[in-house]
Amino acid sequence: MNAFMHATLGITDFWTFVLGTVFIVLLPGPNSMFVLSVAAQRGVRAGYKGACGVFLGDAILMVLSAAGVASLLKASPALFHVVKYVGAAYLGWIGLQMLRGALRGWRARGAAAARPQAAAPTLAREADPFRKALVISLLNPKAILFFISFFIQFVDPGFALPALSFVVLGLVCQVCSFAYLTTIIFMGARLAEAFRRRQRLSAGMASGVGAMFIGFGAKLATATLN
């Protein structure tokens, strides 16, 4: 299989790439945590809207990486810092919004018990999960650097059509991401009924995810090019 992929698509050590991609996709991050939160609070359909935003954001980052944007960020530390701090601020803002929603949920738990059909207000239901997930995915300069540094190891520089190699590797990454996010979405949907019955549980999860987003923002703010 490796020989076939190398000869026809210019991809070296295909199975190592697949295994590495699986492990990388499984690492928790703002994309997966946001999709899980949306699915748990708003159901499967909203969860897939968020997942589509992630897919599009990742695809854009892959294209930008292949086009050399990662090299531009490396060559311009000032630009890298601007993108980094904007992304960190956005993740932190999302985290604060979740914490505020969780606090409202705690305060409203008595009213929710009196009205069991009321929906939990912890994740800004009016927000479009597709657009929000897209912005979360795009505002991460480390992802651009990761894609180019990871993909480049598996593309034969002597292959006549390197763009084809990148497309195939990108599709593999998206398939792995789709499988993982689908699992997360249905896990979240199973939690949705419990959240509708238990306002305190819903607020607790929202506060935990909000704290994680603030942590993601802090980690991004301290990221370096090395």
- Whose tokens are 């195939």? That residue is 168
Q: What is the pLDDT of residue 111?
A: 52
- Averaged pLDDT of the chain: 76
Mean pLDDT confidence for 3-28: 80
Q: What percent of the chain has pLDDT over 90?
A: 16
Q: Residue 17 in contact with residue 100, Cβ under 8 Å?
A: no
- Whose tokens are 């020989």? That residue is 3
Q: What is the pLDDT of residue 53?
A: 95
The more confident residue out of 33 and 212 is 33
* Cβ neighbours around 153 below 10 Å, total: 11
Reply yes or no on whether the pLDDT at 202 is more than 80.
no
Domain boundaries, the chain: 2-221
Q: What is the pLDDT of residue 136?
A: 87
Reply yes or no on whether the pLDDT at 154 is more than 60.
yes
Mean pLDDT confidence for 78-94: 78
Highest mean pLDDT out of 108-122, 140-154, 195-209: 140-154
The more confident residue out of 36 and 210 is 36
Predicted TM-score (pTM) of this structure: 0.73
Reply yes or no on whether the pLDDT at 182 is more than 50.
yes
Highest mean pLDDT out of 116-125, 127-136, 196-205: 127-136
Task: Quickly list DSSP for 26-86.
Answer: HS--HHHHHHHHHHHHH-HHHHHHHHHHHHHHHHHHHHHHHTTHHHHHHH-HHHHHHHHHH
Q: What is the pLDDT of residue 189?
A: 80
